[in-house]
Amino acid sequence: MSQSAASPSAVPRSAAATSRRIDVELGERSYAVHIGPGVRVLLADEVAATDARRAVVVTARGLEAVPDPGVPHHMVEVADGEEHKNLASVEGLCRSFADAGLTRDDIVVSCGGGTTTDMVGLAASLYHRGTPVIHLPTSLLAQVDASIGGKTGVNLPTGKNLVGAYWQPRAVLCDTDYLDTLPARERLNGYGEIARCHFIGAGDLRRLPLHEQIAASVARKAEVVAADERDTGLRHILNYGHTLGHALERATDFALRHGEAVAVGTVFAGRLAGALGRIDRERVAEHLEVVAHYGLPTRLPEAVDVGELVELMRRDKKATSGLAFVLDGAAGAELVRDVDEATVMDCLRAMPRDGR
Ligand code: GLY
């Protein structure tokens, strides 16, 4: 973590003219998500809409990635990555907020991928028992999912996201220009979350340009979060494809990225819903078609063990007893608990595998 008082770069304000705005409706904690090329220029306006007199800007994309927030500010450079997403980093961030003289009326700005927005969001939620935060997500995954909806968190050695808090941002600026330099595999990671939106009420996004796919994914997430902020029911559907997805991430020691694992999990969720008689063959096939359309993996990795996957899925946070999956059906996607283990095993064994 390095700190600097350097001045960030300016981006032409006109760039925001083509943007879309989606509101996350949470009463007095409602906020706007702006999506489009150049929307980072709205940062100063969003800061001005708060009472902030100073800011700490935490960036994983370098100092140049963040425009002037319009108030005196301090820059902190961090690195994206699960290995940095821990309580020690949160303490380091809180110390830098204190060193900068930040109060609970001031503002924290995060700029980076989902690991950065998660970690900075948690630090903001804790500092002075809650300091406002604005996110500038720079990866596709963070723009369509991680930075929206107020879930913040860090990892423990025993697992991902085990320590966290709900802390809604004041605004999210999804500047699609950040995606121009995204490595292909990182882009694919985000497409995993876009693909699963097809089955949770966002409709068919395949023919839309990328910024419209992002906007539609954000709009669906905003509706779900507005209806169930604290994840007691409807919000579970955002975890479509995630039960097997999380297990695959663990079983492959994270060689399979989150979005790739969710993609395989989405194909599996379709097959399992079909085996349970919840959806017809065409809808099962649609899962494969949609995931393949985005160039995502559709098969189980060659080496994973079916028994290990079931064991990992039993420990899923949503599985209070037995195996739980978000599954498609006549009423749309919903969390289904206590799914018959033999059926799950059969479906896993029947999944096509890489290299076969
Ligand atoms: N990423 C799932 C959620 O925000 O609930």
Question: Where residue 226 sits, what CATH number does that domain have?
Answer: 1.20.1090.10
Q: Do residues 75 and 28 share a domain?
A: yes
For residue 356, what pLDDT is reported?
A: 67
User: Does residue 259 fall inside a structural domain?
Assistant: yes
Confidence of residue 15 (pLDDT cuts 50, 70, 90): low
Same domain assignment for residues 174 and 287: no
The yes-or-no verdict on residue 16 having pLDDT over 70 is no
> What's the gap in Å between 82 CA and the centre of ligand 1?
17
Q: Give the span between the Cα atoms of 319 and 272, in whole angstroms.
A: 16
End-to-end CA distance of the chain: 45
Cβ–Cβ contacts within 10 Å for residue 235, how many?
Answer: 18
Which residue's C-alpha comes closest to atom 2 of ligand 1? 238
Question: Do 175 and 274 sit in the same domain of this protein?
Answer: no
Is 225 among the domain residues? yes
C-alpha of residue 224 to centroid of ligand 1, in Å: 10
Question: Residue 303 sits in which domain range?
Answer: 197-350
User: pLDDT at position 320, please?
Assistant: 72
Residues 166 and 214 grouped into a single domain? no
Dist. CA 234 → ligand 1 center (Å):
11
pLDDT digits 0-9 by tens, 146-175? 999 999 999 998 888 999 999 999 999 999
On the question of pLDDT at 248 being above 70, the answer is yes
Pocket of ligand 1 (CB under 6 A): 145, 149, 151, 231, 235, 238
Structural domain total, the chain:
2
User: Which atom from ligand 1 is nearest to the alpha carbon of 224?
Assistant: 5
Domain assignment present for 302: yes
The tokens describing 68, both together, are 């002037």
pLDDT tens, 92-137?
999 999 999 999 999 999 999 999 999 999 999 999 999 999 999 9
Q: Domain check: are 174 and 211 in the same one?
A: no
Quick one: 204 and 175 in the same domain?
no
pLDDT of 12 higher than 90: no
Q: How many residues in total does the chain contain? A: 356
Model pLDDT, residue 17: 62
Residue 189 domain-assigned (yes or no): no
Q: Indicate whether 91 and 19 sit together in one domain.
A: yes
pLDDT of res. 245: 96
**Once rounded to an integer, what is the mean pLDDT over residues 241-263?**
95
Residues 345 and 306 in one domain: yes
Atom 3 in ligand 1: which residue has the minimum CA distance? 238
Beta strands in 37-170 (DSSP E): 55-59, 73-77, 107-112, 133-137, 151-156, 159-166
Rounded to the nearest angstrom, the distance between the alpha carbon of 221 and the centre of ligand 1 is 8
With bands split at pLDDT 50, 70 and 90, how would you rate the model's confidence at 294? very high
Pocket test for ligand 1, best of 24, 143, 145 (most atoms within 8 A of CB): 145
Percentage above 90 pLDDT, the chain: 90
Contacts of 177 (CB under 8 A, 6+ apart): 15, 37, 38, 40
With a threshold of 0.85, does the pTM exceed it? Answer: yes
Distance between Cα 151 and ligand 1 center (Å): 7
pLDDT (tens digit, 9 = 90+) per residue, 78-90? 999 999 999 999 9
- On whether the CB atoms of residues 260 and 254 are closer than 8 A, the answer is no
Residues 214 and 177 in one domain: no
For residue 191, tell me if it sits in a domain. no
Residue where a domain terminates, one of 147, 182, 217: 182
Q: Are residues 58 and 177 in the same domain?
A: yes
Quickly state the pLDDT bin for 11 (edges 50, 70, 90): very low
Residue 346 DSSP symbol: H
Tokens of 150: 């107020």
* Distance from the alpha carbon of residue 229 to the mean position of ligand 1, in angstroms: 10
Share the mean pLDDT of the chain.
94
- Residue 255: pLDDT band with limits 50, 70, 90: very high
Whether 202 and 170 map to the same domain: the answer is no
Boundary of a domain, candidates 127, 155, 182? 182
Is 93 contained in some domain?
A: yes
Flag whether pLDDT at 7 surpasses 90: no
Q: Are strands 151-156 and 159-166 parallel, antiparallel or unpaired?
A: antiparallel
Average confidence (pLDDT) over 27-50: 97
* 132 and 9, same domain (yes or no): yes
The minimum-distance atom of ligand 1 relative to the CA of 151 is: 4
Angle between helices 258-275 and 242-251 (to 10 degrees): 130
Q: What are phi and psi of 265, to 5 degrees?
A: -65, -30
Average pLDDT for residues 172-194, to the nearest whole number? 96
